[in-house]
A and B are shown apart, each in its own frame.
Chain A
Amino acid sequence: MKEHYTGTATNRVDGRAKVTGEAKYAAEFEVPDLLYGVVVNSAISKGKITRIDTSAALALPGVHQVFTHENRPGYTWLDSHYQDEDSPPGSPFRPLYNNEIKFSMQPIALVVADTFELARYAALLVHAEYESQPHETDLEANLPKAYKPKKYKSPPPSDPRGDAPGAFAAAEVKLEEAYAHPAHHHNPMEMHASIAIWQESGKLTIYDKIQGVQNSQKYISNAFGVPQEDVQVISPFVGGAFGSGLRPQYQLFLAVLAAKELKRAVKVVLTRQQMFSFGHRPFTIQRLAIGASADGKLESISHNAFAETSRFEDYNEDVVIWPGVLYNCENVEVSHQLVGLDVYTPLDMRAPGGTTGTFALEIAMDEMAYKLNMDPVEFRLKNYTDKDLNKDKPHSSKELKECYRQGAERFGWAKRKMEPRSMKEGHQLIGWGMAHGAWEAQQQEAAAKAVLSPTGKLTVSSATADIGTGTYTVMSQIAAETMGIALEDVTFELGDSTQPKSPLEGGSWTVSSVGSAVKLVCEKLQEQLLKLAQKMENSPFSDAKIEDVSFENGQMFLTQAPATSISLQAILAQDEGQPLEAEASQKPDKKQKNYSSYSHSATFVEVKVDEDLGTVKVTRIVSAVAAGRIINPKTGRSQILGGAVWGIGVALEEHTVLDHTIGRFMTHDLDKYHLPVNADVHETDVIFVEEKDEIVNPLGAKGLGEIGIVSVAPAIANAVFHATGKRIRELPITLDKLM
């Protein structure tokens, strides 16, 4: 019997390392003679440093150096040398470049000392004087200055289809509203950290918190003019990232700078407060105009987004693609404009654009459903599309209808009364709401290497990451199943820049990209195994082609004559006990080009809202997800559960508040920036709807990192409306907005 590892709920293969504390995160590697760096940040949000006095810090015994713009070595200062795989168009921020301050909390110095405590103290003694210039951080106040970027980071918003304004004017039922999504910070539990180790040879070994070691490797190589082969970046475990690790953050640059200059090993760990000093999900205002016929057919959608970006890079994300993906409407017009502010460049954060765009679109659609007096699911079914209308291509698979059906059934949606405020229990108003969402299933080129040892142990590697998504486990499952060997006999290695090339871990594409490469490399090994077996004397496989053989239980056999079999170990014994090696790179298949591929979700939510006090409790969530093949239902379910928790945070809690008087984020710690806690989370149900997809990639899997979050926040907001009759269009929905 063939063991089916994929599709089977499997415990994490790195679970033991994580529950015993053995798993080492970036800051935790034991390095001899380590120095500690602590970053000093700017007090002002815009202007110039007029004086920076480091003498008091340097006077402390044990302080090795204080790096500032005045004494930093003269490295390359070309923009392109600071761009990384996730850079938006523009001129990347360069730490300690000059005396110019571009955003509040900008790093202005790095203190390096013998111990962490000493460096932390010395950092307090660095004295900076500034000349402030007027700053602008207020998106709303600066909306008139919005512009269309010359170059978009993601594909530019699609051209108009049909005549949206005309159809809107003629529509029988109309909605015109604005929606505000505040700035958020990723706040993975592990703070960003790097250890840079300088070696006599001039080589650098670096431990970094990053979602792609090769991105850090290239960045450091370019920025410091060190050949790529002399930079090794290692990151076996990442304590969450959610996008914050897509770009190398400034602690990496500073650690390397200090290590090179001091010819030592230097560790720089950001503080939780400093986790608010770089990329964030941008504050975005969206204006939606929707028109429909009286019987609920969508006639027109205009979706226009205005988002903040920094003065130096044009960050944008896919906020306005969702009408074309989710709704059948002939007249659609979308735009995405930016407002340059004195803040750091925004940065992709879990389901970038999807979270923001779906929130607005799905609340607006709920509003339409109410104007039309139509059940929200029925309204969506009426305007269902089989095609991705942005690209005018069919979906490679789309089981969204099944998500509605199964989700609604599990939730008991049929019992819902349309009127708001129709359910009550004591002081608690009860509301039911729903929303749906999508996330693109992408595949990127990725490579993997496989080594099969004479004892039958398989080691597969690729320079990808596991940020909690289960990469170690899922790749091991794919390899074990493809090779037909036991899961225990497979080791998957990742997070080392010397491994085969892998894309950044993001956008939910790791399983499809790296997983496909893992499958391919195992198939290559199989071809080699067959060839080896054919070299045996009187080989029963001598005429066999690779299509004729199968691999199961550590054996290769003729598919038509299973009795003709040989163990992999026996084959390898042929080769004088040499391990067998293969490397392979997998690109997206051409046939994908004719299709669009998205995972989909429908989320149903129950909330209880206190009629006097405005407190909201999300008592029930049912998330039905169609995402192709689920390689590991156990870790996959965890991804969706985590997405639901994120949805609660987005809907009710998270908000990085900017004080525009000083141009500074003020909720810059975990006391003031509220992440959901255990007591915020109640019944949460995940349904994986079966979805067959032979086009999306060789695995048929679409990825689960983002689809779990997108439809949760709007479903909560819609449930709050159903409970209270109050439509909140500005997140988070805090109690004051409901009183």
Chain B
Amino acid sequence: MRPFTFTQAQNVDTAVREVSSDGAKFIAGGTNLLDLMKIDVMQPSHLVDITQIALDTIEETEAGGLRLGALVKNADTAYHELVETRYPLLSHAILAGATAQLRNMATDGGNLLQRTRCYYFYDTHTPCNKREPGSGCSAIKGYNRDLAILGTSEHCIATHPSDMCVALAALEATVHVTGKSGERAIPFADFHRLPGDTPHLDSNLQPDEIITSIELPAQGFARNYTYLKLRDRASYAFALVSVAAALELEGNTVKEARIALGGVAHKPWRVPEAEALLQGQTASRENFQKVAEAYLQGAQGFGHNNFKIELAKRAIVRALEKATKMEATA
């Protein structure tokens, strides 16, 4: 770890001011930033501790939704009564991620900004465009079992590793941020980026901007939902593929379907046109299979991760079946 200076900000304004210096970064739970600093992947020269800022509450919004403070711990979010009852999909997604210890530390804001777990990104002795723009991507022709199959570019095939974000994408949350030029609200779908030719940028957040809260709209899909996470061991592993599925049903007819995929792209993956295929249709395995096919249109494997294409399709079908309680929700 390289040396850095350290200050604690008591409010959003100071935080934004202090992070404006070159090489400065916020630190919240520290579970991702310190991990990466220890192996020299991140090299901030100044850290602004934002954990003292009063952004650690969960409140109801006038629109009937919920506002999750950026500094609320992942565990406190998942176990919050209003989240558990109105947004169980989010609870389940958070609890599928990391461990009890890490969720007690990790913050909701930090979770959005966690970086990829690509093998090469984590090893400074290998070329990686995300870590060192222009150095090349080792994963495309290398070992890529965990990496992306959708929305990739010739420069990077990394995935976004978060579970929480997959649920937030399905729920169509809004990210509230404050920067030097004021506040803005970013729809979740626009928060993360695809790698394109700027794989070093994970999100559209500006360096001087702080996430203040994540807003959930009123619609919580509390009746028919599933978060299905497939991984290489039963717990404490990132997703190979995960699916957040949320349905509004009328009898056996789908009024609205939301599906977001994790572990397959540089951001939580949604295909609204494919979701629309379900609208007004009966909730049946056949129809789910159609949606799954549509969701994976254009998917491309890189060798070790080819299996994810078929796995994602099957996972979508299973998640939708579970969400409609064609199978008991696990």
Direct contact of A and B (CB under 8 A): yes
Confirm or deny: A653 has a beta carbon within 8 angstroms of a beta carbon on chain B: yes
B133-178 with Cβ < 8 A to chain A: 138, 141-143, 145
Given A661-B142, A662-B126, the answer on whether A671 and B232 have CB atoms closer than 8 Å is no
Minimum distance in angstroms from B160 CB to a CB of chain A: 15
Point out the residues of chain B lying under 8 angstroms from A529, CB to CB. none
Given A124-B2, A678-B235, 5 further pairs, Cβ under 8 A: A121-B1, A121-B3, A657-B143, A680-B233, A735-B230
Given the complex of chains A and B, what is the CA–CA distance between A674 and B145 in angstroms? Answer: 14
Which of A29-37, A594-602, A612-620 sits within the interface?
Answer: A612-620
State in angstroms the CA–CA spacing of A664 and B122 once bound together.
13
Q: Chain A, 650-681, contact with B by CB distance < 8 Å: what is the 0/1 string?
A: 00110001010110101111011010111110
Shortest Cβ distance from B315 into A: residue: A613
A677 in contact with B230 (CB, 8 Å): no
CB distance from B116 to the nearest CB of A (A): 12
| Bound complex: CA A736 to CA B314 (Å) | 12
Contact residue among A617, A664, A678, A679 (Cβ-Cβ distance under 8 Å from B126): A664
Query: Known contacts being A662-B138, A680-B234, A739-B307, is A612 close to B314, with CB within 8 Å?
Result: yes
Cβ 8 A contact of B310, one of A661, A677, A739:
A739
**Cross-chain contact B125 with A43 (CB below 8 angstroms):** yes
Per-position 1/0 for B162-201, Cβ under 8 A of A? 0000000000000000000000000000000000000000
**Given A124-B2, A427-B327, A736-B307, A676 contacting B233 (CB threshold 8 A):** yes
The docked-state distance in angstroms from the alpha carbon of A661 to that of B314 is 32
From A669, which residue of chain B is reached at the shortest CB distance?
B122
Interface residues of A (CB under 8 A from B): 43, 117, 120-121, 124, 273, 426-427, 612-615, 617, 652-653, 657, 659, 661-662, 664, 666-669, 671-672, 674, 676-680, 734-736, 739
Name the distance in Å between B35's Cβ and chain A's nearest Cβ: 9
Instruction: Compute how far the CA of A356 lies from the CA of B112 in the bound complex, rounded to whole angstroms.
Output: 42
User: Does the CB pair B232–A674 fall under 8 Å?
Assistant: yes
Q: Is B317 an interface residue (CB 8 A)?
A: yes
A671 to B198, alpha carbons, bound, how many Å? 26
| Contact partner, B237, options A117, A613, A657, A674, Cβ 8 Å | A674
Contact in complex: A734, B327 (CB < 8 Å): no
A613 to B318, CA, bound (A): 9
- State whether the Cβ of B54 lies closer than 8 Å to any Cβ in chain A: no
| A739 and B314 contacting across the interface, CB-CB below 8 Å | yes
In the bound complex, how far is the Cα of B123 from the Cα of A666, in angstroms? 8
Selected A-B contacts with CB under 8 Å, 7 pairs: A613-B311, A617-B234, A659-B143, A668-B123, A671-B237, A680-B235, A739-B311
Which residues of A lie under 8 Å from residue B2 when comparing CB positions?
121, 124
Contacts of B141 in A (CB 8 A): 661
Q: How far is the CB of A178 from chain B (nearest CB, A)?
A: 20
B311 touches A735 (CB 8 A): yes
B105 at the interface (CB under 8 A from A): no
Is there an interface contact between B327 and A426, defined as CB atoms closer than 8 Å? yes
**B86-107 vs A: 1/0 string, CB under 8 Å?**
0000000000000000000000
Residues of A within 8 A of B123 (CB): 664, 666, 668
Q: Does B48 reach chain A (CB closer than 8 Å)? A: no
Nearest B-chain residue to A682, judged by Cβ: B234
Residue B119 at the chain A interface, CB threshold 8 Å: yes
CA of A679 to CA of B95 in the docked complex: distance in angstroms?
A: 14
Query: Binding site of B, secondary structure by majority: helix, strand, loop or mixed?
Result: loop
- The complex places the Cα of A50 from the Cα of B2 at a distance, in Å, of 26
Interface bracket on B: 35 or more
Q: Tell me whether B240 is interfacial, beta carbon within 8 Å.
A: yes
Q: Establish whether residues B307 and A615, one from each chain, have CB atoms under 8 Å apart when the complex forms.
A: no
B295 interfacial by beta-carbon distance below 8 Å:
no
* A662-B311 CB under 8 A given contacts A124-B2, A273-B39, A735-B230: no
In contact, A677 and B235 (Cβ under 8 angstroms):
yes
- Give the shortest distance, in Å, between A55 (CB) and chain B (any CB): 17
Known: A613-B311, A671-B238, A739-B311. A666 touches B142 (CB 8 A): yes
CA distance A653 to B235 in the complex (A): 12
Tell me, yes or no, whether B227 is within 8 Å of chain A by CB: no
CA distance A526 to B317 in the complex (A): 74
Contact with A along B303-322 (1 / 0, CB 8 A): 00001001100110110000
The answer on a CB contact under 8 Å between B314 and A679 is no
* Known interface pairs A124-B40, A662-B138; A612-B327 also in contact (CB < 8 Å): no
Q: Is the CB of A736 within 8 A of B119?
A: no
A426 CA / B141 CA spacing, docked (Å): 39
Query: For the complex, would chain A's binding face be called helix, strand, loop or mixed by DSSP majority?
Result: loop
Contacts of B3 in A (CB 8 A): 121
B230 in contact with A120 (CB, 8 Å): no
Known: A124-B2, A666-B120, A667-B119. A734 touches B232 (CB 8 A): yes
A426 and B307 CA atoms in complex are apart in Å by 23
B318 touches A612 (CB 8 A): yes
Min CB distance A670 to B, Å, is 9
Among residues of B, the one whose C-beta sits closest to the C-beta of A734 is B232
Q: Does chain A have a CB within 8 A of B236?
A: yes
Q: Which residues of A contact B314 (CB under 8 A)?
A: 612-613, 739
Whether A677 contacts B233 by the Cβ 8 Å rule is: yes
Cβ contacts under 8 Å, A674 to chain B: 232-233, 237
Which residues of chain A are within 8 angstroms of B119 by Cβ–Cβ distance? 659, 666-667, 672
B117 within 8 A of A: yes
Closest Cβ of chain A to B149, distance in Å, is: 13
- Min Cβ gap B295→A in Å is 16
Bound-state CA distance A43–B119 (Å) is 15
Closest to B141 in A: A661
Query: How far is it, in angstroms, between the C-alpha of A636 and the C-alpha of B233 when the chains are bound?
Result: 27
Nearest-neighbour CB distance to chain A for B313, whole angstroms, equals 10
Give the shortest distance, in Å, between B21 (CB) and chain A (any CB).
20
Nearest-CB distance from A655 to chain B (Å)?
9
Which residues of B lie under 8 Å from residue A672 when comparing CB positions?
117, 119, 122
Contact bitstring B225-254, A, C-beta under 8 A = 1, else 0: 000001011111110100000000000000
Question: Whose C-beta in chain A lies nearest to the C-beta of B314?
Answer: A612
A101 to chain B, nearest CB (A): 12
Chain A, Cβ-Cβ closest to B230: A613
Given A662-B142, A666-B120, A677 and B311 touching (CB < 8 A)? no
Taking the nearest CB of chain B, how far is it from the CB of A95, in angstroms?
18
Provide the residues of chain B in CB contact with A659, threshold 8 Å.
Answer: 119, 138, 142-143
Q: What is the minimal beta-carbon distance from A393 to any residue of chain B, in angstroms?
A: 42
A735 contacts B318, C-beta separation under 8 Å: no
Q: Which residue of A is nearest B310, CB measured?
A: A739
Residue of B nearest to A675 (CB): B233
- Complex contact A615–B230 (CB within 8 A): yes
Give the docked Cα–Cα distance between A661 and B119 (Å): 14
- In the complex the two chains form, what is the Cα distance from A155 to B32 in whole Å? 49
Contacts of A676 in B (CB 8 A): 233
B1 contacts across to A, CB distance below 8 A? 117, 120-121
- Give A458 to B8 CA distance when docked, in angstroms: 58
Docked complex Cα distance between A43 and B138 (Å): 14
The answer to whether B317 and A653 touch across the interface, beta carbons within 8 angstroms, is no
Q: Complex: how many Å from CA A225 to CA B126? A: 39
* CA distance in complex: A666, B127 (Å): 13
Q: Write out the residue numbers on chain A whose beta carbons fall within 8 Å of the beta carbon of B232.
A: 653, 674, 734-735
Q: Which residues does chain B contribute within 8 Å of A273, judged by CB atoms?
A: 39
Cβ contacts under 8 Å, B230 to chain A: 613, 615, 735
**Are A653 and B138 also in contact (CB < 8 A) when A124-B40, A613-B318, A671-B238 are?**
no
Residue interface mask B31-71, A partner, CB < 8 A = 1: 00000001110000000000000000000000000000000
Question: Could you tell me the distance between the alpha carbons of A117 and B34 in the complex, rounded to whole angstroms?
Answer: 13
Q: Collect the chain A residues with CB atoms within 8 Å of residue B125's CB.
A: 43, 664
Residues of chain B within 8 A (CB-CB) of A617 are 234
Complex Cα–Cα for A734 and B317 (A): 20
Nearest-CB distance from A51 to chain B (Å)?
Answer: 16
Across the A-B interface, the 8 shortest Cβ-Cβ residue pairs: A736-B307, A679-B234, A43-B125, A679-B235, A666-B119, A612-B314, A659-B142, A680-B234
